[in-house]
Amino acid sequence: MASIEMSHIVKQYGDGYPAVNDVSLDIADGEFMILVGPSGCGKSTLLRMIVGLEDITSGDMVIAGDRVNDKAPRDRNLSMVFQNYALYPHLSVFENIAFPLRLAKVSDDEVRRRVEEAADILELREHLQRKPANLSGGQRQRVAMGRAIVRAADAFLFDEPLSNLDAKLRGQMRTEIARLQRRLGITTVYVTHDQTEAMTLGDRVCVLRKGVIQQVASPRELYEQPVNLFVAGFIGSPPMNFLPATVDGTALSTPFGTIELGQERAEKIQGRDLLLVGIRPEYFEDASLVDEAKKPYGSTFTARVDVTEWLGDAQYAYIPYEAPTEVAEQLKELSRELDSDQLRTQAVVSIDSTSRIREGREAEFWLDARKIHVFDPKTGENLTRDAEAGRKLTEMAAEDRVEQVERAKV
Amino acid sequence: MSTREKVGWGIGGLIIIVYCLFPVAWIISLSFKSSDDISNGQFLPTAFSGENYEQILVGDAAGLFLPALVNSFGICLIATFISCLLSMFAAYAIARLDFPGKKLILSTALAVAIFPVISIVTPLFNLWRQIGLYNTWPGLIIPYLSLTLPISIWTLSAFFREIPWEMEQAAQVDGATPWQAFRKVIVPLAAPGVFTTAIIAFFLAWNDFVYGISLTSTEAARPVPAALGLFSGASQFESPNGPIAAAAVIVTIPVVLLVLLFQRRIVAGLTNGAVKG
């Protein structure tokens, strides 16, 4: 068990390109930290620098109080689960799990005891004598985890461990990993580009973009108080809608009508002309289904629905809108950076699954104005972020974690 | 596949097998013919006779053949072993490390492999005589390495490239030194490749004739192919075809055995299941 402290970590490749640029991040003992970002953001490089498979160009990597920059991977006492599992195909499951113990020259009895203990946790008991080639994807994944937990490592590192599994298994393994981490209480760093994993697993999530940290916070804070356009667009699925807006007193005028912001938030955006307003899909609703009591908190507008997707528990409607070319370019750039390729400017709207709104018709929508954010289109900065509220959300998550770890120990 | 297609494939396969193995069958049949039966004009001997085998194993030609057999085995095994060991390290470095001159090494290896043996053998003959390697085992092992190393390095580096690098990194994270990672993870995974390479290298050395005949003069180092060329008939009017056929059969046996023995080890796809499936 150990904390991991990184200060001003830089990774520069031969051609001078900084894959990781001035990253400072403290991971507390027993914390579950997620590194997330679109491909090429440097998250895997950062993880590999922690474990020692990648040299650190400059900065300090401190694990459990020791500077480990120049230590070989074997001297860092970390264990890692690779994306493709990297099981040893010539060894049985038992020997795969026992491998780190064998290298540490642990006695045979002790090896047997500890491997069986790990196998019991991961329900691999009946597969111990099989070869990895004969296992299913999920079983292989568990063997890789077994190899990681069998030795008393200071921290677990996961490099997109679930990306090779099918969706159903991924969900199961995700809860399994969460349970395991709480039970063992070991510091964990987990790299993923899947934001469901990021939101559900992490105590805190670190969002990276082109090697630079954007925001480190609890999933809730990221979701509700994103620091900029990038974080707002990356976190959440379907993603946040960004609409062009102009200031009009204390209100914003957008393609979806006028949105009243209120005095406090309006002050923060005074004196600017073109802005981007970020609205999550679930802030919308079919106007005919909204409670009368709730209606004053938002505004209503009518729009033509292009496509609807009915999913049983929810329903999405796609509403195209016109955007000035300047903003459209900006949004296109952003969506490319977020690994999605949005072809047209359209808003995704989540409406109740019982709604009778159908494709191709004009419909009336209601928009909850309370939680929307306003961004500067040039810098991407969130102008209406409430730092205090965000800090509280992250504090709450930290308290929850302490409680969960305590409960798991009993 | 329809029955007609099956029959078609079967007949095609049969033709190829017969075409390939007919000379071998002929040599075997020849080796069982007695000296006056050799030109009987038919495929099978009139009467099976062990005369030729007797001659090369215990008779007149035994003095020529048996030491040559020992030489061939010894020299080829040593050359194979050394070339496997060296090429394993070389190929690992080529597959894994990025160092200046990597391309140069590979292309030099290729150049050596395509260089005609006959053009080196005369200078080598003079040099070996000067420094006392002529007609010795090392005198053959060294040129054999030049035959076997290039192909070994090429095939092995291809094998090493197939092994996912994560294997080795996983081992290192698990607490292995680079040497331990190489020995406990990479070598077992490369084993099929190493066996394949060893067999190819052994054949190359085993089949060599030019070096064998040029760089040796007595049974101290003369390998089998060279010795075969020196067989003589019972009289100068009699060709030694029978004993040569018998010797040819005998030297083919280890090759066949080797392939049968290691066939199981040359199983492709051992790395299946290591990465996602």
Domain boundaries, chain B: 62-230
Do residue B174 and residue A103 have CB atoms under 8 angstroms apart?
Answer: yes
pTM (two decimals): 0.79
pLDDT of residue B77: 93
> Following CA atoms A79, A83, A86, A87 in sequence, which dihedral angle do they give, to the nearest 10 degrees?
80
Do residue A89 and residue B176 have CB atoms under 8 angstroms apart?
Answer: no
In a domain, A399, yes or no: no
Do residue A85 and residue B176 have CB atoms under 8 angstroms apart?
Answer: no
Claim to verify: residue A260 and residue A286 sit in the same structural domain: yes
Would residue B228 be called left, alpha or beta, if left means φ above 0 and alpha means ψ between -120 and 50 degrees?
Answer: alpha
Query: What is the full per-residue pLDDT of chain A (410 aa) written as tens digits?
Result: 689 999 999 999 888 888 999 999 999 988 999 999 988 889 999 999 999 999 999 999 999 988 999 999 999 999 999 988 889 988 999 999 999 999 999 999 999 999 999 998 888 899 999 999 889 888 998 999 999 999 888 999 999 988 888 888 888 889 889 888 888 889 999 999 888 888 999 899 999 999 999 999 999 999 999 999 999 988 888 889 988 888 888 888 888 888 888 888 888 888 788 888 999 999 998 888 888 888 888 888 898 898 999 998 889 999 988 888 877 888 888 888 887 766 678 889 999 888 888 888 888 999 988 888 999 888 888 988 888 888 888 888 888 888 887 887 66
B174-214 pLDDT, tens digit each: 999 989 998 898 888 888 788 888 888 888 898 888 898 89
Treating both helix axes as pointing N-terminal to C-terminal, what angle do A167-184 and A137-149 enclose, rounded to 10 degrees?
A: 20
Claim to verify: residue A216 and residue A81 sit in the same structural domain: yes
Chain A positions touching B275 (Cβ under 8 A) are 84-86
Claim to verify: residue A250 and residue A193 sit in the same structural domain: no
Q: Which residues of A touch B (CB under 8 A)?
A: 51-53, 72-74, 78-80, 82-90, 99-100, 103-104, 131-135, 137, 140, 147, 151, 164
Give Cα A54 distance to the centre of its chain: 23
Q: Which domain holds residue A326?
A: 238-384
ipTM surpasses 0.95: no
The contacts of residue A379 (CB under 8 Å, 6+ apart) are A228
- Is the model's pLDDT at B268 over the cut of 60? no
Claim to verify: residue A207 and residue A255 sit in the same structural domain: no
Treating both helix axes as pointing N-terminal to C-terminal, what angle do B117-131 and B137-162 enclose, rounded to 10 degrees?
A: 130
Interface contacts (A, B; CB < 8 Å): 87
Query: Residue A347 burial by CB count (10 A; 0-12/13-18/19+): exposed, middle or buried?
Result: buried
pLDDT of residue A325: 82
- Final residue belonging to a domain, choices A186, A202, A224: A224
Instruction: Choose the closest CB to A74 out of B166, B176, B188.
Output: B176
Counting other chains too, the contacts that B200-203 makes at CB distance below 8 Å and 24 or more residues apart are B200/B148, B200/B151, B200/B152, B200/B155, B201/B79, B201/B80, B201/B83, B201/B84, B201/B148, B201/B151, B201/B152, B202/B76, B202/B77, B202/B80, B202/B258, B203/B255
B115-157 pLDDT, tens digit each: 888 888 899 999 999 999 998 999 999 999 988 999 899 888 8
In a domain, A400, yes or no: no
Claim to verify: residue A260 and residue A178 sit in the same structural domain: no
Claim to verify: residue A198 and residue A71 sit in the same structural domain: yes
B209 CB neighbour count, 10 Å cutoff: 14
- CATH at A108: 3.40.50.300
* Number of domains observed in the structure of chain A: 2
Q: How is domain B62-230 classified at the architecture level of CATH?
A: Orthogonal Bundle (1.10)
Chain B positions touching A83 (Cβ under 8 A) are 166
DSSP helix/strand/coil, A296? helix
Average pLDDT, chain B: 84
In a domain, A148, yes or no: yes
The token pair at A208 is 């990276």
In a domain, A401, yes or no: no
